[in-house]
Amino acid sequence: MSTDINTNATHSDQPDASGWSASLYNKSVPFVYSPAFTAPVLELLAAQPGERIIDFGCGSGEVTLELQKIVSSASGGVVVGVDFSESMIAQAKRNGVQHAFVSDIQALKLPKNEIFSQADQKFDTVFSNAALHWCKRDPSGVLESAKRVLKPGGRIVAEMGGFMNCIGVRGALYRALRSRGYDPVSRDPWYFPSMEDYVKVGSDFRDSENDVDDARPPVAGKGRIHADTPIPHAAGYATTDRLSRMASGLRA
């Protein structure tokens, strides 16, 4: 896959135009792509040899590379990584990811190359790990992008932060910012939806015949959102009262 990214560029902690540095990312949060962290979503994905997968928000490509090893063991298998950060894509290519390009998954623009040269060359699966909660500007745009690249009957398999994620830290920061006259909402980079919120975002993809269980996260499949796996309990968030106190910091 052709790209203008210089994969031989010097590793730097200096963020790129998107605000990300692959070097800092690898030093600071390697747990994000660790086997322990990714095992549940990869089990749900169950990638198969010969499958065509596009990785939304691939970061520096560690998980993408593992998927590449699996799918490329059979004819037709390919994994394509996409990320908004040039630094991340350059590092993914250094790590051995064969196909990767820079684009905003909230408004995906496909490159013109051998992977996307034919209208019928779409993907079996859109995969994403720890990326969709960064898509605050246009969450529905992510699903529109997925719809564009999925084959009929394709699926979305994703892990993302949800409602009440980082609630203690975010609540304290919101209170501190408000006390100093700042708007915390505009400075919060994250999108942590509830089950109900994400179902609304994906309403165009939802099967109206299927009721979504509030105890389950949305997972897209066959162009619709439906319940699939239980949400794990958040350790330490023992009572509704405690949650309410922690969440109060997010409210005006």
- Please name the amino acid found at residue 219: V
Check residue 205 and give its pLDDT: 57
Instruction: Please enumerate in sequence order all residues whose Cβ is within 8 A of that of 226, keeping only pairs 6 or more positions apart, or say none.
Output: 206, 207, 210, 212, 218, 219, 220
Q: Residue 91 pLDDT > 90, yes or no? A: yes
Distance (Å, rounded) from C-alpha 205 to C-alpha 212?
A: 13
H helix or E strand, kind and range, residue 169: helix 167-179
Which of 10-24, 49-63, 160-174 bottoms out in mean pLDDT, i.e. has the lowest?
A: 10-24
Distance (Å, rounded) from C-alpha 252 to C-alpha 237?
A: 22
Distance (Å, rounded) from C-alpha 24 to C-alpha 15?
A: 8
Q: Calculate mean pLDDT across residues 95-99.
A: 96
H helix or E strand, kind and range, residue 144: helix 139-149
Quick count: other Cβ atoms within 10 Å of Cβ 244?
Answer: 9
Q: Is 123 helix (H, G, I), strand (E, B) or coil?
A: strand
Check residue 176 and give its pLDDT: 95
Check residue 250 and give its pLDDT: 58
pLDDT digits (tens, 9 = 90+) for 170-225: 999 999 999 999 999 999 999 999 888 888 887 755 443 333 333 334 343 333 33
Crossing angle for the helix pair 240-247 and 167-179, to the nearest 10 degrees: 30
Instruction: Please enumerate in sequence order all residues whose Cβ is within 8 A of that of 62, keeping only pairs 6 or more positions apart, or say none.
Output: 33, 95
- Sheet of 99-102, strands arranged across: 99-102, 78-83, 52-56, 123-129, 150-159, 218-221, 224-227
User: Comparing 60 with 204, which gets the higher pLDDT?
Assistant: 60
- Please name the amino acid found at residue 55: D
Check residue 227 and give its pLDDT: 33
Q: Residue 83 pLDDT > 70, yes or no? A: yes
H helix or E strand, kind and range, residue 124: strand 123-129
Fold of the domain built from segment(s) 1-160: Rossmann fold (3.40.50)
